Chains A and B, each alone.
Chain A
Amino acid sequence: MNFLPEQHEAAELMPDADHRSSGRGLGGAILLAAMALPGLMPAAHAENAPESAEIGIRYLDYKDSSRMLDGSGTAGAYAFGNPGVQDRVKVHAPSVNFLLPFAGSWSLAGSLVSDSVSGSSPRYYNSAPTRYFSEHRTAGDWKFTRYFARSSYAVTFVHSDEHDYSSRALAGTATFASDDNNTTWTVGGGYSRDKITPSGGGSDPVTGNSFSLERKYGRDFMLGLTQVLTPTDIVQSNITYAQGRGYFSDPYKTFDYRPRERNQFAWLTRWNHFIEDGPGLVKGTTFKASYRYYQDTWGVKAHTLSGEWIKPLADGWTVTPLLRFSDQGSARFYLDPDPTQPGFPPNAFWTPTAGVYQSADARLSAFGAVTYGGRISKKLGDGWTADFRGELYEQRGSWRLVGQGSPGLDPFKARFLQVGLTKKF
C-alpha cells in the first residue's frame, strides 16, 4: 500500500466501511468523505437577510369594559351613585408597515400607527367615577440592519406622541451565530426619554405643588440565546433588564403617588415545534409555547404562559387558535379597596407622606388573566396575504393561581381585533 500520512488523517474522519448510520440515517463513510470536499455546501451569504420587500397595512380595534355593580356596600361594590354604568375604552388604530432589503446585506424596516383612543378611565380601581377622554397618539419605529454571514447589527429608533405624553427611544442590537448556525446570541441596549405634560397640569401629591412637565428616563439591556435543538425544534430564551427613573405616577388618578424609580427584570423562553408525522389533523402543524417570568422593584412578580397551534389548510388558508394565561402579584404600594369606606378611594382621608407610596390603579393589582382567540390568514396569490386576529381577554382577582388575587375589583374584560393585508415583492 502506498498510503501516506495525509491519507491516515483523512481516514480518521471516516469510520469503517460497515459503520452503521447515525440515528438520522445520514449514510456512512462515503457521505462523510463527500462532506469533506470544499465548496459543496458553503455558508450562505448573509443568511438571515430578508429576501424580499414587504409592505402592509393593519387595523386594530380594541374595546374594554369593567362594569360597575350597583352600590350596596359589599366588597367589590363601588357604585358612587351610578349603578350599571359601563366604563369603556375604545381604540381604533390603523397602521402601515414596510420592510425594504437593499444592497444584498442591508434592510430598513418601519411602521407608523395612529391610535384614536376614547372612552372613560377610572379615577381609582376599575369601578369608580371616571375621566372621559378622547385622544390621539401617533407612534412609529424604524430599524436599520446590516447583515453579515454569521452576524447582524441593527439600530432602532422609536417615537410616540400624544398631547400629554411624548417618548423617544434609541436602541442597538447585535446577533452572533455559530458556524453551524444552530446557536445565535443576541445582545442589545437601549435608552429612552419620555415627557409627561398632563392636560390641566398635574400636582405633586405630597407637596400639593402643581407642575406642567415631568420626565422619565429609561435604560434597558437584553441578552438572548436562540438554539436549534432538532430539525423540528427551536428554542429561544431572553433576559431583559430595564432601569427607569423619573415620573411614574398617573396624573389623572386620584392621589396616585408612585416611586421615582423602577427596575424591571424579565425572562422569556419560547419554543417552536413542528410536527412532521402523525395523524392527518396534526401532521404539518406547528406548536408554539412561551413562558415569561417578570419581577420589578415595585414588588410585582408575574408569570405569563401562552401557546398557539398553527394549522395550515388547503388553498393557502391557515388557522391558529391561541391561549394565554397571565398571573400577576400586586405592587407593594398598591392599596386594596377599603371595605369600610365604600365608594371612596382608601386614601381619601389620609395625608400623603413623602416616601409612602400608594396607588389605586387596577393595573398594579394582583390578578389572573386569560386570553383566548385565534388568527386566520389566507395567501391571496402574487405575494398578497390577508389575516384576521380576534382575542377575548378577561382579568379577575379570583383567577390568580400563584397567590391571593386583589379583592374588591370587578372583572375587567376586553376584546381586540386585528385585520391586516401585506404584499411581498
Chain B
Amino acid sequence: MGATAGTPGLLARHGFEAMASPCGIVVAGSPERVARSAIVAAEAEVRRIEQKFSRYRADTIVGRINAQAGGTPVACDAETLHLIGYADTLYRASEGLFDVTSGILRRAWDFRKAVLPTPQQLEPLLALVGWDQVERDGHRLRLPRAGMEVDFGGFGKEYAADRAAGVLIEKGIRHAIVNLGGDVRCVGTQPDGSPWQIGIQNPRDPNSNIASIPLSHGGIATSGDSERYFDLDGVRYCHILNPQTGMPVRYWRSVSIAAPLAIAAGSYSTIAMLMEERAKDWLDSSGLGYLLVGPDGAITKRDAPSA
C-alpha cells in the first residue's frame, strides 16, 4: 500500500542454467547495483534448493532418505518437513494421482528409444510406489521398503521460483520476473503498472507460442506432453506417468495455470495432466485461470476473476 511506480527504463537481466533448464531473472525499475545484488542472491537460492533436494547425491536429505529405504528413519529439517506436508496435500487433493514416490517408474521408460515397457518391467516398480505407505513420526521419515524413493522434482522448480521471488522481495525489489525453465513467478507488475507478458509454448512446435498471457501477480506454470516423450504408431508417450498403472497420461497436450504462487500453479497443472479428461471440471471449481490444449490441439482458455 502506498507503493509508487518504479522508474521505467531501468532493467537488469541474468540468464543461467539450473535444474536442467534454462533460467532467467529480470529486475526492472531498480538501480543497477541494487538489482544485481538481488539477482545474485536469488540465483544462489535457486542453486541451494537444487543442491539440497538433489537425489543424485548421497549426502543430501533426499539422497539419505532414499539410501535408508527399508532401514532406519531419517531426521528432516523444517523446510523438508514443510515440503513433505505439501506433497501429502497434493496426494490427497489428487486422490493419489500425484505421488512423490512414483519417480522410480522412470526406470522402465527410456524416452530416447521408442520402446514400451513390458508388464514384467513395470510390476516390481509399481510395488515400490505408494505415498500412503511412507512412515512419518514427528520430524522423521522412513520409506518402508528398500528400493523406494522420494523425489521433489514434481514441484522443485516451481518452489525455487517462489523462493527466488521471496529473496528479491526481501531485497527491496518491487518489479521482477523469475523464469525457471518455463515456470514463472513475478514480483509486482512492470514499473509502469502494465502486466508482464508470458508466452506459452506450442506443445507441438517448440519454436512458436500459442498464446501470450498477461501476468500482474503470482505465477504461471505449464505441464505438457512434449518435455520428454516418444511417438509410437501415432500415439504420444510422455514423461508424466500414472502412479497406479505406470503408463503415461494421454489426454492434454499442455495445461498452463495461473495462481498466486508458482508452486500452486505447477501442482495444479501437473495434477490436471494426471486427471486427463476429468481435469477441466476440477480446474473450473478451483477458480484459477487456465489455458488448456486438448488432444486435438483445441485451446480452451479461462481468465481468473481478478486478473
Residues of chain A at the chain B interface (Cβ within 8 Å): 1-4, 6-7, 10, 14, 17-18, 20-22, 24-31, 33-42, 44-48, 50-52, 104, 177, 181-182, 184, 226, 228, 231, 234, 276, 382-383, 424-425
Give 3 nearest A-B pairs by CB, closest first: A25-B287, A21-B287, A33-B89
Asked if B261 contacts A40 (CB within 8 A), the reply is yes
Residue of B2, B82, B137, B261 most packed against chain A (CB within 10 A): B2
Known: A21-B285, A39-B163, A182-B1. A1 touches B261 (CB 8 A): no
**Closest Cβ neighbor of B137 among chain A residues:** A4
Contact with A along B88-130 (1 / 0, CB 8 A): 1110110100000000000000000000000000000000000
Nearest Cβ distance between residue B97 and chain A, in whole angstroms? 12
Residues of chain A within 8 A of B288, CB atoms compared: 25, 27, 31
Q: Which of B6, B138, B263 contacts A6 (CB 8 A)?
A: B138
Nearest Cβ distance between residue A53 and chain B, in whole angstroms? 9
| A226–B1 CA distance with the chains assembled, in angstroms | 10
Nearest Cβ distance between residue A72 and chain B, in whole angstroms? 57
With A29-B92, A39-B162, A40-B165 already in contact, 20 other A-B pairs whose C-beta atoms are closer than 8 Å: A2-B137, A25-B286, A25-B287, A27-B268, A27-B286, A30-B286, A31-B261, A34-B264, A37-B162, A40-B162, A40-B163, A41-B261, A42-B166, A45-B172, A48-B1, A48-B2, A51-B5, A51-B29, A51-B30, A425-B7
Residues of chain A within 8 A of B85, CB atoms compared: 6-7, 10, 33, 36
Residues of chain B within 8 A of A30, CB atoms compared: 89-90, 93, 264, 267-268, 271, 286
Asked if A47 contacts B2 (CB within 8 A), the reply is yes
Known: A2-B134, A40-B166. A234 touches B1 (CB 8 A): yes
Contact with A along B128-163 (1 / 0, CB 8 A): 000010111110000000000000000000010011
11 A-B contacts, Cβ less than 8 Å apart?
A: A14-B89, A17-B93, A20-B285, A21-B286, A25-B286, A27-B268, A29-B89, A38-B79, A41-B169, A45-B171, A383-B8
Residues of chain B at the chain A interface (Cβ within 8 Å): 1-9, 29-30, 78-79, 82-83, 85-86, 88-90, 92-93, 95, 132, 134-138, 159, 162-163, 165-166, 169-172, 174, 259-261, 263-264, 267-268, 271, 285-288, 304-306
Asked if A2 contacts B260 (CB within 8 A), the reply is no
Residues of chain B within 8 A of A1, CB atoms compared: 132
| A181–B165 CA distance with the chains assembled, in angstroms | 19
- How many A-B pairs have beta carbons closer than 8 Å: the answer is 152
| A86–B52 CA distance with the chains assembled, in angstroms | 82
| A239–B7 CA distance with the chains assembled, in angstroms | 34
| A30–B169 CA distance with the chains assembled, in angstroms | 23
Grouping DSSP codes into helix (H, G, I), strand (E, B) and loop, the A interface class, with mixed when no group exceeds half, is: loop
Residues of chain A within 8 A of B93, CB atoms compared: 17, 28-30
Asked if A37 contacts B159 (CB within 8 A), the reply is yes
Residues of chain B within 8 A of A382, CB atoms compared: 9
Asked if B261 contacts A34 (CB within 8 A), the reply is yes
Asked if A181 contacts B1 (CB within 8 A), the reply is yes
Asked if A231 contacts B306 (CB within 8 A), the reply is yes
Asked if B305 contacts A24 (CB within 8 A), the reply is yes
Residues of chain B within 8 A of A276, CB atoms compared: 306
Q: Which of B7, B82, B306 contacts A424 (CB 8 A)?
A: B7
Asked if B86 contacts A33 (CB within 8 A), the reply is yes
Known: A27-B288, A40-B163. A383 touches B136 (CB 8 A): no
Residues of chain A within 8 A of B260, CB atoms compared: 26-27, 31, 35, 41
| A383–B191 CA distance with the chains assembled, in angstroms | 11
Nearest Cβ distance between residue A174 and chain B, in whole angstroms? 14
Nearest Cβ distance between residue A98 and chain B, in whole angstroms? 15
Asked if A51 contacts B7 (CB within 8 A), the reply is yes
Residues of chain A within 8 A of B138, CB atoms compared: 4, 6
| A24–B78 CA distance with the chains assembled, in angstroms | 31
